[in-house]
Amino acid sequence: MTTAHPTDAPSVISRAELRGRATGAGVMAFFGLGWTACGVTDMPVTAGRAVFAAAALVSVTFAFLAARRSRAAANAPTHGDPTADTRKKVGVRFGLVVLAEWVAIFAIARVLVATDHTEAIPAFVAVVVGIHFFPLARLFGVRAYHLTGAAMCVSALTAAVLAPLTSTAALWTALPGFGSAAALYATCVHLLRVRRDNDGQGLRP
Residues 51-72: tens digit of each pLDDT = 999 999 999 999 999 998 888 7
Angle between helices 15-39 and 45-72 (to 10 degrees): 180
How many angstroms separate the CA atoms of 40 and 156, rounded? 15
pLDDT surpasses 80 at 80: no
Q: How confident is the model at residue 81 (pLDDT cuts 50, 70, 90)?
A: low
Q: Look at residue 183 and tell me whether its pLDDT is greater than 80.
A: yes
Q: What pLDDT is attached to residue 20?
A: 86
* Cα–Cα nearest to 145, from 155, 131, 159: 131
pLDDT of residue 16: 78
- pLDDT-based confidence at 78, cuts 50/70/90? low
Backbone torsions φ then ψ of 179, nearest 5 degrees: -65, -45
Mean pLDDT of all residues belonging to the chain: 87
pLDDT at 203 over 80: no
Bridge partners, 203 (sequence order) = 196
Rounded Cα distance, 149 and 181, in Å: 12
What backbone phi and psi angles, to 5 degrees, belong to 80?
Answer: 90, -10
Alpha-carbon Rg for the chain, nearest whole angstrom, is 19
* Kind plus residue range of the DSSP H or E element containing 37: helix 15-39
Least confident of 19-23, 161-165, 192-196, 200-204: 200-204
- Average pLDDT of 114-142? 95
Does residue 177 contact residue 122 with C-beta atoms inside 8 Å?
A: yes
- Predicted pLDDT at 117: 95
Average pLDDT estimate for 95-99 = 97
Q: Cα angle vertex 186, ends 4, 149, to 5°?
A: 80
pLDDT at 180 over 80: yes
pTM for this entry: 0.85
Query: What sign does the dihedral 164-168-173-175 (CA atoms) show?
Result: negative
Q: HSE, CB side, 13 Å, CA atoms: give it for residue 37.
A: 8
Instruction: Report residue 17's pLDDT band, with 50, 70 and 90 as the boundaries.
Output: confident
Residue 102 has pLDDT above 60, yes or no: yes
15-39 and 121-140 helices, crossing angle to 10°: 170
